[in-house]
Structures are given as structure tokens and as C-alpha cells.
């Protein structure tokens, strides 16, 4: 609750900047870039279900990517991009990765870079006061996270486009490109790997694969899809089941201890899994036919180059695949900064190297590389960004076709097993709303519903409707009452619809919309403190009458600038898909519903209600 | 005119499939995927200003990419994707490239692959009858064109996303990915280069560039931007000026002859420009320090490895840069199949190799490669797709940072010189409408206009409004008259708005919209041929009354299924940017405008009118 109040008041502070009349019509905004108020980000807040209020540091746990997806789709998670979270995540990630657990640094890197983008953006009113511009900035910032995590500047941009951002116009594309490029240039000069190169796992297999090997790549794709799909399903079930135990729920450190213990017990016996995640990939991608020096000393090559089949080695490869799979399932989602990309690549590389043992006269490293991509495709459902990341990781362009083949097959198979990828499922676990337009439209289309299903019940509509008389003034007490009712409902992005009847007609016609936060700001900040006892204190809502001189005793306050006079509306009989498309593509936060034929206002749909309804449909859908 | 009729009748034939009442509400479609009629593509047609009616083969000329951009933004160009054009383009491209003129094969390849996609799609009702699904298919198809032209499957997908397609959701992304992958697999097996590799211009420079070399990459970016920007401006002016001469306008073959002559005269004296475009790139990208055999025999390396500076060689590099620039300016846009990518890469590679001569102890091939990318960036304004195409062309991942730097700088500089890239300018030259949302919103935002500026004049509104009485029936003769008026106006995507007054109110409220083509189909096909003389013949428009039994004498026809009962509407005072966003993002074809406060219908905006208005604003803008 303390959090929520903080949000409202910060939003109200910003509103003082937008009290110019010219700003009023751009509140609701398909064209948010012009609007000077920052209500977009701080207004609609979702507090993660698992984090007790005040325990901001909990937000540094996990990958961060699901939350960033939520934020970039137009919601806000208070404090998630603040400096304390940034600091905890940065230090936490160092220690988490150092434990050798099955977790990666790429999710945390993306979170860290997005925090930096947010904190820098907050210094400039252009971004601070404009939700959409801020989200564009964050989209660009998060691409640099992956750019430095993997030395993959282009992959970073595409990851932001394909996996994270809901809204990614061309101009964000090249800004992300610039951001990612600068990050890569700095990384190259800092040279943390000591090679002077960005490519992390450089390989050079040549191009000696034959058409028959496509079968193996196909098999790796299928296997990656099965593993990935299972991973998504099992990780989701594990999160729901294991973390429901009271002792685990109350003691996240105990959970971390248990996972570390399991990791140590399962990984140490296998010589291949003793190393950190990125070294494992490097070891598994090695080309033993390459005549450079170091390769021959590796344990992998000693086993593969020996004349007899080394059964223990093959056993360790299988063991490695399963251990990585099981450990990643129980690790992803625990309360430490943890990404899923490196462990997924590990598991896939183990399986790929294993398959490579069965195929004569071609380096098994090739299959480890393609297997890694396939597994990650199954887990994350990325396509083009993953293919590019794999090139940038391995420096290997000759394998573009095998990679694409395995990635696409893995995505298909995994989609068949578990409809959503790991990040989308994590959003569900964390309780963050997310309106994926494609999924939502598919759900809605099947059911042939109309916009009217989302119209609130008659009683609610009475509560949120204000019938403004011809004088355009309403009593202060009435609005105060309506505001109290709105607050009772607890939906922070709600508001009041203003209607008027014209002439003899008794049909209430929509005149405007005022959001809860703007109404509250108007009623608490603009009304003189001495007045509010008087019941005849008037609030202007829809502009002055033409012949109306300002009243000299100032017994009224003008809230017209806060009213959106041109809210978008839709016919009640229009297909529900129109509603979904309008919300997702135009970035709406509310949409009025009018009766077919008469134009009478019958309801208003707010974004949160739509998202909740779609969630309900989806769950209902899966039950069938 | 013959063309236009062909279009209408083909659309009407399709409408027979959609005459089910359930289909009526989905005519206008943000959700076009559900709608069973194919009106979207064939309905709104634009015939290129330069092509005399019947001369379909003219459509095989040029790059094809500007036209495909137009088609993918929701317009239609009759015959452009037909089999005859495909055949002429395929054969024409072979001969055009063989002449050695400054033109490439990648534009024609994209056109050819899009034709194939269209012809295959027409075999399936799912695509034939649904404009949006067809456009998604075409987006995927065109990615395979670049995939095979350059052996760049990922670059092809990104090119389709960044440069060509207006609408590119995630599901199109991986379909394009599949299409591009399959094309690359087939190409690899056909092995036209004889190397067994997809990579066309393989290089292997190592990573010996130093931070100081960033200055050179920056310089190449600036130069590429200047060249590219000048190219766009001069090519545009050349197209307008040279092709305005009557003799050239009437004899496109004469123009081709003159350009071939100029090409031969300018290119033959220079030993570096005698080869075809792709060989020139290969020659200029050569690494003379590489110890493999063939390099030393090349003319470039003989000159560079000699102890003294070879001034003639440097002169030829400069000559090559300028010759390619000038020839490409006069070549792009002539009436042969011609792409611009290869010549742009050539010119950039010449200049890059020239700069490379000034920089000691690093292969000048690196600068030729980066210079080529910079020049193409200046010409086309691609960013990420170009970076990926460059990797796939050269197999060189270590130069990702220099490439990105030069590309981004070139784009900025070129944007400053000429606002639009070569394809956008070519659209203007060809007279094709194109609604680029980003550009349109910028134009509109500056002017702070409202939706009402697009409301047609009172007289037009009277012509297109039908006041439907409470019986929901109107006289056949009235509609026939309105249709004739619509046809007179000559806007093929127009229609009628249906309004009704309720009770005592005299305010006409919007009831529905019927498009011209559907009205014409209804009036000409559904009305019995024997009846139309009678003036009391009635047309139902807005459904049956509840208590109304079907009249036994069938003296009326029901057009209700053709009426969109839930057209989207917007308030007249809403910012014009909302209108632009709704058209571009929701794929609207018409939008009704209502009066603020009363809900009275005051106008209807059709897409063509909006695009025309924006074009006008833009031209006016540039004059200022």
C-alpha cells in the first residue's frame, strides 16, 4: 500500500506539468509521444504477487526478462528499474554465476542495462514525462545487455525486437543498433576475454557437412524441441509446486541452499560438468581435428581421438545432458539473479556432442553447436535472433542453414508440447499481466465475441458515469463521492466517463473521460483547502459556456484540461478482436463502448480489465 | 479503364463467397484474417502513372522493390505479380545483368520470388480471398529473393522486415525464416558458384584493426552517406528531368541504348571496371597479404605489392568510384530489370579500397568491404539488415563493429542530405501511394491538425450519405443514383454511409457503411433483371424489423450482409495523428468522423484521401 501511494503521488507531481489546456486531448494516447504527462509508466502498477511490500531487493532475483517484457508492454512495476535493484542485481549476478549453478548472466545483464537506460532516461524530462518515449529508450537499452553478455551486438538488437519488445518501430531499431554498437565497442576495448575478439566460442569447422547430415540436424531440432518444451512445462509445474511449501516460500535462502547442494552433488562427479557454464560450451564445441595445440590436451579430445570407443565418456555426455536439464529446471526462478540462456546452451551442447559420436567423419563439435541452438530455441522460442546470436557466439557463418533448420524444428516441436516459451510462463508465475496481441487475438477469434462482453455491469457503469448538465458544471461533492467509489474498486487505471443529453433526447452521449489519477490530483490539489465544506462548490468539466464570464468569487475550479474530450470509442457489436487490436496496436488505456445505431454510451473498457478477461479466457481455454 | 473494370469484376466474383450474413461485420478489418472476401487486394488499385494501359510488360522494368513496398502497405497494382511479368523479369534480368551495366540482380530476384509467392497463394482460397493473409505470404516470399540473390538467408528475412514490409508480426517473422531457409538449402545444393558455400565474397582478414582505424571507418561512413545522399537526390532529379524529354519518354529503348553506350565508354578504359559487378567486389575485397595462390595474380595485388606507389592504379580507383556513381545514377530506373544493391556495393568498395591505400599495415580490402556497406547504407538507409547481409556476403564476423559504425554514420549523413532512401523516392517517381506511418505521423504532428480537416465538403457528404428510415428500406432508384455519383468521383475505395435519426431527435446517427464495390455487386447481381424499371423496388439495408414477415412478392432485396454495421469512428476534434495511427496500424480502409459531444456523423475518411492529403502536406512541407 505504501508503494501504491508512492506511485500515485509521483504521478500527481508530474501532472502539474500537464495542466495546460492544450495537453488535455492527448492524455489517452495512440500518440503518446506528444503528451507531456508521464502517467503512462507510473500510473498502472502491478506489484509482483510474490514480493512482500518493501522487500524491493526481491526484484533483483530471477532473469528480469519477463518483468521487462511486462514493462515494455505498457505496465509498470514500481522500483524494478531503480538503482538499489541495479546494484543488488549486479553484485548478486557475480556471486550467483560464481557458484557454478545452472544459471547464466545474460538475463541479469539485460536487466542491468535496462536499469541503466531507465536511470539515465529519468534525468531528461523528454523521457521522464513520456511513457512511450521511455519505453522506446528501454527497448534500445536492453539490446546492449545481450550485446555485452555474448559479444553479440546484432543478436542483442534482434533479441530486443523478437523476444522482449511489444512495440519496435524502425526508429527504435537503429537506436537499439547504436546502443548495442557502442556497448560492443567498449567491450572490445576492455577485452575481458583476453582474445581481443568479441566472438566468445570461436570455432572453425570448415564446411564439410553433406546433405545426409541434415537428418542429424533435424533430429537435433526435434530433440531440442522436446527438451525445451518439457523444460518449460516442468519448470512451470516445479515453480508452482515446490515453492508452494510454506517452508520454501518463507525461506528462499533455504531453497537456494538446496539447489546449490543438488548442483554440487549432481555436477561434481562428472568431469564434463565441473566447469562454469561458458567453459562447458567451449569444451563441447572443440574441433579435435583442428591441429592447433591446445585442443589435444582437452579431456573431450583425448577420449574422442582414442582408438576405442570410450563408453564412460559417452555415459558422461548423457549424464551431462540430463543433469543440466534437471538442474536448470529447478534452478530457473529461484531467488538469485539467474538467466536461462547459458544453461540451455550447455544442455543442448551435451546432447549434440552425444549425437555427434554416432556420426562418422565429421567433427562432433558441429552437432554440439547446432544442438545448443536447438535446445535454446525450444526453451525460448526465439528464431532469427537466436540464429544471429549463434553466429556471433561461434563466428561460424557456414552453418547458417543447419542452425536455421534445427531452430525452426525445435520451435515447432516445443510449441506443440508447451504453448508458451519460458519467459511468457515466468510472467504468468510472477503474476504480471502481459497482452501478447497474437495470442490474445487467437483466443478471441475462436469465440466470436463482441465488444459488449467487456462492458461493466449496470451498477458499475452508474458509479463511473457523470451526467454533466448543460452548464458543464457538477457539484464538488458528487465528484468526491465518485472518486471514493473508484478508489474502493482498487483499479488504479480506472476513470469517469462524462455524458450529456442534448435537446429533447434522453440518450446520453459521450463527452469525455477523466482518469482517476487526474481527477484525484484535480480534487485534492486545485481545490482551495478552505472551501471543501461547502456543498455548492462547483467543478467545471467540459469547458466554459460561450457567454460565461469567469465568476469573480472563484467558487469553482476548472478541470477541463484534465478531461480527454476525444476518447476513442467502438460499437458494442463490433468483434472483440477489434478491441484487442486497438488496445495493443494503438497503446490505448481505455476505450468507450457505444450502442449500435443510437450512439448511446453503454460502457468503458480499461486495459487491466481486458487483460484480466483474456487471461481468464486463456485459462478456461486450456481446461477444455 | 479496361484494367479498372477487370479489377472490380474480379472482386465482385469473390463477393459471392461472402454473401453470408455472418460475414458482414468483418468487411472492414483490423482483423482481416477472418474475413472471407478478398476485396483487400484487388479492390483499391493504383495504376502506375508511367505505364500505358495494356503495356503490362513495363512492370518488369526497374527494381520492383518500390512497387512491392506499395503492395505490402495495402494497395494493389494490377498484374504486377502476374506470370507474364514474372517471366519477362526473369529473362530480362539475365540479359540486363549480362550487359555489364551498373545494375544488380537482387531487386529482380525479390520481385520474382514475390511473384512466385503470389501465384502459389492464388491457388489457395485462404490467401486468394484474404488480402492480409496474402500480404503476409508475400512478405515471407520476398525474403527468399534476397536469400538466393546473396546467399544470405538471415539478411533476406531482415531485409523484408526492415526495408519492405509495413506489417511484420512475429508469426510472419518465422514463416519468412522458413521460406528463406528453404531457398538457401536449395541454392546450396544447386551450388551455382561451384564453391559449395553460400558465402559469395569470402574474406579472412583476421582481426588486426586498432582503435585508431575507427577514424577511417568513420570517414567511410561519412563518405558513404554523402555519396548515398547525393545518389538519391541526383537519381531522383535525373528521373524527373531526363525522362521528361518527349523522345526519351516515348522511346525507352533509346534511353537504354544511350545508357549502355555511356556504360561501355566509361567502364572499358578502366581495367578495374571491365568485369561484371559481383566480380568487381570480389577483386576489390581481396587480401593481398593472404598467402593463398590466386591472390598474387590479381591486378589489384600486383599494383599494391609493388614497392613504389602505383599512381595509375590509385587514379583508376578514383575513376572507378566516380564512374560507378555516375553510371548508377543514370541507370537506376531505366526500363530494364535492375537492382541497385550490387552497383552501390561496387562504388563503395572502390572508394574504400582507395582510402585503404592511405592507411599503412592493414589490408585495404577491409576498407573496401566497410566502404561498400557504408555506400549501400547511404543509398538504401538499411541498418541491421545490411549489417547481417554484409556478414553473410563476406563470412567475416570480426568486423561487426566497424560495419555497424560505418552503416549508422552513413545513414545519418544521407538522411541529412536526402530525407528519403532510394526505394521511397522511386515510389514517388512511379506515382505509387505509400503510407509510411513514421513519416506521416511526423508530418501531422508538426501541424497540430484535427481529424475534421479530412472531412469531405458538405456537398460530397450529401452525395454519399443515405438517410435510412425506420423501416430500414430505401428505394432502389436512390441507391442506383448514389452509386452513379460514387462512380463519377472515380475513387474506387469509396462507399456510402448509412444514418438514421431516432425518436424526436434530428441528429443523424451512424448506422453502417457499405463500400462501392459491394453496393455495385448487390445492385447489379442480386436485383432481378426484370424488376429495375419499377421505382418502388425496395432495398433493405439495416436488417429486418422484428415483426416484419418476409414479403411474399419478393419486391425487395436484402443488402444487409454487405453493410459493415460496426464501422470504427473517431471524434472530429481528435488529433489527426490518431487517424494516421488507426489507418496504418489497424489496416483500416475507411473511418467515420463524428461530431464532438453530439455523436452526429459529420464525415468519412477513406484511405486514399488520407494518403493524398499526407502527400500534399509533405510536398508543401518541402517547399517551405
**Given B154, B162, B542, which is nearest A170 (Cβ)?**
B162
**Given A391, A445, A574, which is nearest B397 (Cβ)?**
A391
Domains and CATH numbers, chain B: 2-13+26-190 (1.10.3080.10), 211-434 (1.10.3080.10), 440-623 (3.10.580.10)
The nearest alpha carbon in chain A to B22 belongs to A448
- Between chains, do B171 and A596 touch, taking CB under 8 Å as contact? no
Q: How far is B407 from chain A (nearest CA, A)?
A: 10
* Per-residue pLDDT tens digits for A379-395: 999 999 999 999 888 88
**Given A500, A586, A598, which is nearest B585 (Cβ)?**
A586
Assigned C-alpha cell, B97: 545483368
Within A124-251, residue ranges assigned H as helices are 125-128, 131-150, 153-159, 170-190, 213-242, 246-250
How many CB atoms are closer than 10 A to CB B264?
Answer: 13
Contact of B7 with B42, CB cutoff 8 Å: yes
Statement: residue B491 has pLDDT above 80: no
Cα distance between residue B369 and residue B224, in whole Å: 12
Contact of A114 with A164, CB cutoff 8 Å: no
Pairing of strands A569-571, B538-540: unpaired
Task: Flag the least confident range among A27-41, A196-210, B144-158.
Answer: A27-41
Distances (CA, A) of A307 to A197, B296, B352: 35, 42, 51
* Per-residue pLDDT tens digits for B411-423: 999 999 988 888 8
Binning pLDDT at 50, 70 and 90, where does residue B549 land?
Answer: low
Q: Count A/B contacts: CB-CB distance under 8 Å.
A: 221
Binning pLDDT at 50, 70 and 90, where does residue B323 land?
Answer: very high
Assigned C-alpha cell, A317: 555426455
- Between chains, do B400 and A154 touch, taking CB under 8 Å as contact? yes
- Between chains, do B566 and A581 touch, taking CB under 8 Å as contact? no
Provide CB contacts within 8 A for B84, sequence distance 6+: B56, B57
The nearest alpha carbon in chain A to B511 belongs to A597
How many CB atoms are closer than 10 A to CB A209?
Answer: 22
Looking at mean pLDDT, say which of A179-188, A221-230, B513-522 comes out highest: A221-230
* Per-residue pLDDT tens digits for B231-263: 999 999 998 899 889 998 888 889 999 999 999
- Please give the order of strands across the beta sheet that includes A601-606: A601-606, A590-594, A569-571, B569-571, B590-594, B601-606
Q: How far is A158 from chain B (nearest CA, A)?
A: 9
**Given A162, A189, A574, which is nearest B211 (Cβ)?**
A189
* Per-residue pLDDT tens digits for B324-382: 999 999 999 888 999 999 999 999 999 999 999 988 888 899 999 999 999 999 999 99
Cα distance between residue A426 and residue A385, in whole Å: 20
**ipTM of the complex model:** 0.75
Cα distance between residue B98 and residue B279, in whole Å: 12
- Between chains, do A30 and B438 touch, taking CB under 8 Å as contact? no
Cα distance between residue A316 and residue A321, in whole Å: 8
The nearest alpha carbon in chain B to A405 belongs to B181
Assigned C-alpha cell, A514: 477523466
**Given B401, B573, B586, which is nearest A566 (Cβ)?**
B573
Q: What residues does B499 pair with on adjacent strands?
A: B467, B510
- Between chains, do B401 and A185 touch, taking CB under 8 Å as contact? yes
Looking at mean pLDDT, say which of A195-209, A340-354, A426-440, A552-566 comes out highest: A340-354
The nearest alpha carbon in chain A to B585 belongs to A585
- Between chains, do A26 and B575 touch, taking CB under 8 Å as contact? yes
- Between chains, do B392 and A405 touch, taking CB under 8 Å as contact? no
Binning pLDDT at 50, 70 and 90, where does residue B534 land?
Answer: low
Helix (H, G, I), strand (E, B) or coil at B591: strand
How many CB atoms are closer than 10 A to CB A549?
Answer: 7
User: Considering only CB atoms, which chain A residues are within 8 Å of B225?
Assistant: none
**Given A199, A411, A509, which is nearest B597 (Cβ)?**
A509
Statement: residue A48 has pLDDT above 70: no
Q: How far is A162 from chain B (nearest CA, A)?
A: 7
Helix (H, G, I), strand (E, B) or coil at A572: coil
User: Considering only CB atoms, which chain A residues are within 8 Å of B597?
Assistant: 500, 502, 509, 511
- Between chains, do B153 and A405 touch, taking CB under 8 Å as contact? no
Cα distance between residue B509 and residue A597, in whole Å: 7
Q: How does DSSP assign B338-376, residue by residue? A: -BSHHHHHHHHHHHHHHHHHTSTTS-HHHHHHHHHHHHH
How many CB atoms are closer than 10 A to CB A503?
Answer: 10
Helix (H, G, I), strand (E, B) or coil at A604: strand
CA-based max dimension of chain B: 102
Count of residues for chain A?
624
Amino acid at each position: 500500500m505504501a508503494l501504491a501511494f508512492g506511485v500515485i503521488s509521483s504521478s500527481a507531481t508530474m501532472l502539474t506539468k500537464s495542466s495546460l489546456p492544450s495537453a488535455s486531448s492527448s492524455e489517452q494516447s495512440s500518440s503518446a509521444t506528444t503528451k507531456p504527462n508521464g502517467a503512462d509508466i507510473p500510473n498502472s502498477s502491478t506489484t509482483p504477487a510474490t514480493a512482500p511490500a518493501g522487500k524491493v531487493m526481491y526484484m533483483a532475483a530471477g532473469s528480469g526478462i519477463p518483468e521487462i517484457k511486462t514493462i515494455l508492454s505498457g505496465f509498470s512495476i514500481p522500483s524494478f528499474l531503480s538503482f538499489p535493484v541495479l546494484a543488488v542485481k549486479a553484485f548478486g549476478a557475480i556471486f550467483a554465476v560464481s557458484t557454478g549453478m545452472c544459471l547464466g548472466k545474460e538475463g541479469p545483464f539485460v536487466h542491468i542495462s535496462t536499469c541503466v537506460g531507465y536511470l539515465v532516461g529519468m534525468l531528461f524530462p523528454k523521457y521522464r514525462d513520456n511513457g512511450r518515449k521511455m519505453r522506446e529508450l528501454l527497448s534500445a537499452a536492453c539490446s546492449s545487455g545481450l550485446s555485452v553478455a555474448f559479444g553479440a551486438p546484432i543478436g542483442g538488437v534482434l533479441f530486443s525486437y523478437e523476444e522482449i519488445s511489444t512495440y519496435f518501430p524502425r526508429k527504435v531499431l537503429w537506436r537499439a543498433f547504436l546502443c548495442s554498437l557502442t556497448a560492443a565497442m567498449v567491450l572490445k576495448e576492455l577485452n575481458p576475454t583476453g582474445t581481443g575478439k568479441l566472438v566468445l566460442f570461436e570455432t572453425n569447422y570448415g564446411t564439410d557437412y553433406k546433405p545426409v547430415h541434415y537428418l542429424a540436424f533435424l533430429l537435433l531440432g526435434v530433440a531440442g524441441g522436446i527438451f525445451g518444451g518439457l523444460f518449460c512445462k516442468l519448470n512451470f509445474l516445479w515453480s508452482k509446486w515446490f515453492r508452494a511449501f510454506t517452508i520454501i516460500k518463507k525461506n528462499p535462502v533455504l531453497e537456494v541452499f538446496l539447489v546449490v547442494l543438488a548442483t554440487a552433488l549432481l555436477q561434481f562427479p562428472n568431469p564434463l560438468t565441473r566447469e562454469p557454464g561458458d567453459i562447458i560450451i567451449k569444451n563441447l564445441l572443440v574441433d579435435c581435428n583442428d591441429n592447433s595445440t591446445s585442443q589435444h590436451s582437452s579431456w573431450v579430445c583425448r577420449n574422442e581421438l582414442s582408438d576405442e570407443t570410450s563408453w564412460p565418456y559417452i555415459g558422461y555426455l548423457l549424464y551431462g545432458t540430463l543433469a543440466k536439464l534437471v538442474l536448470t529446471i529447478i534452478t530457473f526462478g529461484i531467488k538469485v539473479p539467474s538467466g536461462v540462456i547459458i544453461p540451455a546452451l550447455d544442455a543442448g551442447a551435451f546432447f549434440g556432442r552425444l549425437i555427434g559420436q554416432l556420426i562418422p567423419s565429421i567433427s562432433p563439435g558441429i552437432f554440439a553447436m547446432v544442438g545448443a541452438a536447438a535446445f535454446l530455441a525450444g526453451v525460448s522460442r526465439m528464431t532469427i535472433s537466436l540464429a544471429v546470436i549463434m553466429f556471433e557466439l561461434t563466428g561460424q557463418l557456414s552453418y547458417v542453414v543447419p542452425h536455421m533448420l534445427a531452430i525452426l524444428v525445435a520451435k515447432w516441436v516445443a510449441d506443440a508440447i508447451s504453448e508458451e516459451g519460458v519467459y511468457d510462463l515466468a510472467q504468468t508465475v510472477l503474476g504480471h499481466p502481459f497482452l501478447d496481441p497474437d495470442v490474445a487475438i487467437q483466443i478471441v477469434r475462436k469465440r466470436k465475441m463482441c465488444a459488449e462482453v467487456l462492458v461493466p455491469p449496470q451498477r458499475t457503469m452508474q458509479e463511473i458515469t457523470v451526467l454533466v448538465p448543460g452548464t458543464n458544471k457538477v457539484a464538488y461533492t458528487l465528484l468526491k463521492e465518485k472518486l471514493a467509489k473508484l478508489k474502493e474498486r482498487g483499479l488504479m487505471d480506472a476513470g469517469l466517463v462524462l455524458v450529456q443529453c442534448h435537446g429533447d433526447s434522453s440518450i446520453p452521449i459521450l463527452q469525455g473521460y477523466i482518469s482517476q489519477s487526474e481527477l484525484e490530483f484535480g480534487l485534492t490539489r486545485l481545490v482551495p483547502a478552505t472551501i471543501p465544506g461547502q456543498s455548492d462548490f462547483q467543478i467545471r468539466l467540459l469547458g466554459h459556456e460561450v457567454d460565461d464570464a469567469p465568476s469573480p468569487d472563484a467558487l469553482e475550479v476548472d478541470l477541463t484540461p484534465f478531461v480527454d474530450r476525444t476518447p476513442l470509442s467502438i460499437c458494442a457489436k463490433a468483434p472483440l478482436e477489434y478491441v484487442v487490436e486497438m488496445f495493443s496496436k494503438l497503446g490505448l488505456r481505455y476505450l468507450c463502448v457505444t450502442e449500435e445505431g443510437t450512439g448511446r454510451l453503454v460502457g468503458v473498457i480499461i486495459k487491466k480489465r481486458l487483460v484480466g478477461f483474456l487471461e481468464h479466457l486463456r485459462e478456461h481455454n486450456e481446461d477444455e
